[in-house]
Structure 1
Amino acid sequence: MTTAVAGHREATDRILRIFAVFTSAGYLFYLLLLAPSIVTQADHFDMWWTPTAVVAVFGSGLVLGVSSLLRDTRAVGIAGAAAAVAFLVAIPTGLLAWNGPPLTNGLGVWLSTFPGLASLAAVAAWRPILVFVHMVVACTGVQIFNHVVRDPDVTNPLVPDIAFSIMFCTLFVGAAVMALRTGRVLDSTLEATHSAAAAAAASHARNVEHARFDALIHDGVMSTLLAAARQGATPRLSAQASATLRQLDALRAGPGPNHRFEATEIVAHLRAAAGDIDDAVTLDVREASGADALTMPVDAVRAVGAALAESLRNSIQHAGPHATRAVTVRVAPKALVVEVADTGRGFDPRMVPTHRLGLTVSIVGRMNRLPGGSGRVDSAPGKGTHVNLTWAMP
């Protein structure tokens, strides 16, 4: 099983799909329930209106449920808007197609039975203010429709009917609006959490990098002083001192935005990042022809190193005590591939909770946000885990 970086609409999309299925089931229920009334009342309208209205109103509602199965949830919004508009259009066209005689039952025209359901469909497509406007218009419209087509002896006062219809539908439409709003708030909170975690991980990576440079420069300074004490002033000592001073200047200024690591520095950084987590792991470095020509931006090297470290950390924590780990680094002139594999217990990436940030943010998310980078995690229960981190020159 393969996983990629999770989007920040996961909670909203999940609620939206469930909501679309629920609303579509309501359309199917009302179609079956009202079928006798639809057939009975067909003689009161022009021949074209009843089949057209049934297909437009109920058909769009059923399509809403089908759209929830598609990968892109924008289809749910389109289907919801179509169902909402179809209901509104059916009201004035029904009045135009009305031929009489007046209805003598107390229920009125079949279309007036479910105005709130059409507004529920609108929740999937529109902002809350437009949804409530739709609900008021739909409830008012169908009650006026009823008032026109029913026999005066069975007609209720118009205003109370409109008020009751609006208040009744508000309960369900309001609940749907709040449910989607809750999903959006959750997604927003997760996005903020992911950003904070990514920033913390980047800060940690920079600290590790500075510590590594501190150690290298410390060695350079001590080596220069030792050479000066033993050899005195020589051309070789002068060159070594100049190199050490350049290192100190670079540390003070920090690597610039255009600074790039060469292939040997890249591998050294990855080896240090892996060693900080698991000193027993060794890197299997495989260089393609011309690999020495590879250079990478500092931030890209740090991102790959941090993702490698997090992959090893996850493996140590979750793979099991008997799992073995292997890290393969493939260096090409314009690309770098790091593979982390273990023989542990594995897992189903689809079952990882969204609040678990190691996989989503520190590994896959970090690589997928990197220009030229990509991350993938392949795993299955009982079959170990394989992490692929790739960077290619953009």
Structure 2
Amino acid sequence: MADLPAAFIAPPPRGRSVRNPLSLVRVDTAIARTAAGFGIAFFLQSIPAMIEQLPNLQPVWSSVIVTALVVSLALTALASAVRKQVRAAHIMFAVIYLVALVSWPFAVIDPDRATQDSYWLYYLLTIATAMATVGFPLRVATAYLLLAPAIYSVIRVMPAGGGVTSVQTALDSVYAVILGGAITIITAILRTAASSVDRAQATALDRYGHAVRQHAIESERVQVDAIVHDSVLTTFLSAARAETPEAKELAARMAGNAIGYLRDAVSVAPPSEADISIEVLASRIVDAAGALSEPIEMDVEDAVGGHVPVAVAEAMYSAAVQAMVNSLQHAGQNVERWARVRTERGGVVVEVGDRGAGFDAALVPNERLGVRVSILERVASVGGAAVVDTAVGEGTVVLLQWPMPPTGGSRP
């Protein structure tokens, strides 16, 4: 018998599991926690200078400002850890720091004793700009980046700020702007990249959802086409050719079955995860063969053990019945016909064949749905494979396999 190439529709590949992609939420969380961690480190670094300079500051101001900074810094760390009110906590620290910076000259007791070294608030200047970057929008954060060092620079040249030279205070301010600007730029770049990833992921999910809907529509179309061809059209053809009482009785029984199929098509389908035994599938195929007008030799001795999903069983059963009906309609009368069901490699194999007229598969028009829709596409839709091996004058063998073999279908 001629050996034609199998018509397969490959199942979707199983991709490897990957970690969650970069997202804006994850980036913001990482930046916020980093800012809070460095804030605590820089605050600890400022403690020696603070202890040295506090005697020349108003006690009330020192108590309020230091307490507010410590509490707000602790809140940023806590909010970043639990991911609640993160922006609000960072904005609070940035605002409190700005208030401390502006009110600093008014808290100095003796301007002549003001320190010439870096003021203790200077250690937190870069941290404050980082907090502003986390909490504020980019434009507001940029304004804060320029405003806070400028205020510090103006105060430092004043007597209450130590009366340092403009060159020294300019260097301190420019250094703070450069470091804070680098933090702001890096944060903006990371947020932009994460937002792009989020948009790409949302677009991919939307396209995937559209593809799933299209696949569901196509599967439903294949199912409806198969039901119409297998039941309705076949019943009409059988009724038109029925001349004997037995043929008319068979046509009437087929009409009843067709009505049942159409009724079941609109009912609720069974759960896709439900399984039935291969013995039950084989028994259904035997019953269907017994209802046909020509005898078919059945062999189900090897259909033992194993289960298949309900959807797979329905597809294999319908494709097998359609193959038997096609044999009765096209192979001719009084020819040898057989059907075999067996368990193989944890799946099921159904073979339907005859020694009849056969046909040239290349000459079958596309509008003929029997082989393409009712057999090939139906089995492929559940992850199986179908092989039609035929030649003119040499009969036809239809081999149905589930799951699809890794290297193609086996030959009868």
TM-score range, shorter chain: 0.5 to 0.7
Counterpart CA distance in 1 for 2:52 and 2:346 is 71
Q: Which residue of 2 aligns with 1:64?
A: 76
Counting only pairs closer than 5 Å after superposition, residues 269-348 of structure 1 correspond to structure 2 as 270=272, 280-282=307-309
Question: Is 2:81 the partner of 1:79?
Answer: no
Counterpart CA distance in 2 for 1:81 and 1:262 is 62
When Rg is computed on C-alpha atoms for both structures, the one with the higher figure is: 2
Counting only pairs closer than 5 Å after superposition, residues 253-268 of structure 1 correspond to structure 2 as 265-268=267-270
What's the CA shift for 1:190? 1.6
SS at match of 2:117: coil
Question: Is 2:135 the partner of 1:112?
Answer: no
Counterpart CA distance in 2 for 1:187 and 1:46 is 50
CA offsets, 1:47-79, max 9 Å, x none?
121222222223322322221222xx4521221
Q: RMSD between aligned alpha carbons? A: 4.1
Q: Structure 1's 264 and 183: CA in aligned 2 closer, same or farther, altered over 3 A?
A: same
Amino acid at match of 2:222: A
CA offsets, 1:199-244, max 9 Å, x none?
212211211111111111112222133224327999x98xx69x98
Question: Is 2:101 the partner of 1:91?
Answer: yes
Amino acid at match of 1:144: V
Counterpart CA distance in 2 for 1:17 and 1:178 is 15
Q: Which residue of 1 aligns with 2:62?
A: 50
* Partners of 2:114 and 2:161 within 8 A in 1: yes
Counterpart CA distance in 1 for 2:229 and 2:133 is 63
TM-score with structure 2 setting the length: 0.53
Q: Which residue of 2 aligns with 1:22?
A: 34
* Partners of 2:33 and 2:77 within 8 A in 1: yes
Correspondence for 2:131 among 113, 118, 121 = 121
Question: Is 2:163 the partner of 1:152?
Answer: yes
What's the CA shift for 1:262? 8.4
Amino acid at match of 1:282: P
Q: Which residue of 2 aligns with 1:185?
A: 196
Q: Which residue of 1 aligns with 2:226?
A: 215
Aligned residues: 259
What's the CA shift for 1:271? 7.4
SS at match of 1:107: coil
* Partners of 1:67 and 1:79 within 8 A in 2: yes
Q: Structure 1's 40 and 124: CA in aligned 2 closer, same or farther, altered over 3 A?
A: same
CA offsets, 1:299-331, max 9 Å, x none?
xxxxxxxxxxxxxxxxxxxxxxx999xxxxxxx
* Partners of 2:27 and 2:191 within 8 A in 1: yes
Correspondence for 1:171 among 164, 179, 182 = 182
For structure 2, the 5+ residue unaligned runs are 1-19, 278-305, 312-344, 348-412
What's the CA shift for 1:101? 2.6
Q: Which residue of 2 aligns with 1:130?
A: 140
Counterpart CA distance in 1 for 2:204 and 2:104 is 52
Amino acid at match of 1:211: V
Counterpart CA distance in 2 for 1:126 and 1:138 is 14
Amino acid at match of 1:216: I
Identity among equivalent positions (%) equals: 16
Counterpart CA distance in 1 for 2:271 and 2:238 is 27
* Partners of 1:11 and 1:184 within 8 A in 2: yes
Q: Structure 1's 99 and 171: CA in aligned 2 closer, same or farther, altered over 3 A?
A: same
* Partners of 1:60 and 1:82 within 8 A in 2: yes
Counterpart CA distance in 1 for 2:96 and 2:227 is 71
Question: Is 2:222 the partner of 1:195?
Answer: no
What's the CA shift for 1:282? 3.4
Q: Structure 1's 268 and 210: CA in aligned 2 closer, same or farther, altered over 3 A?
A: farther
CA offsets, 1:133-174, max 9 Å, x none?
111111112222222223336564655554443223212221
Counterpart CA distance in 2 for 1:211 and 1:273 is 22
Amino acid at match of 1:147: V
Counterpart CA distance in 2 for 1:117 and 1:15 is 18
Counterpart CA distance in 2 for 1:18 and 1:273 is 47
Once the two structures are overlaid, the 10-residue window that deviates more, 36-45 or 149-158, is 149-158
SS at match of 1:281: strand
Counterpart CA distance in 2 for 1:97 and 1:42 is 10
Amino acid at match of 2:309: T
For structure 1, the 5+ residue unaligned runs are 1-7, 248-260, 285-321, 325-394
Amino acid at match of 1:165: A
Amino acid at match of 1:266: V
* Partners of 1:119 and 1:134 within 8 A in 2: yes
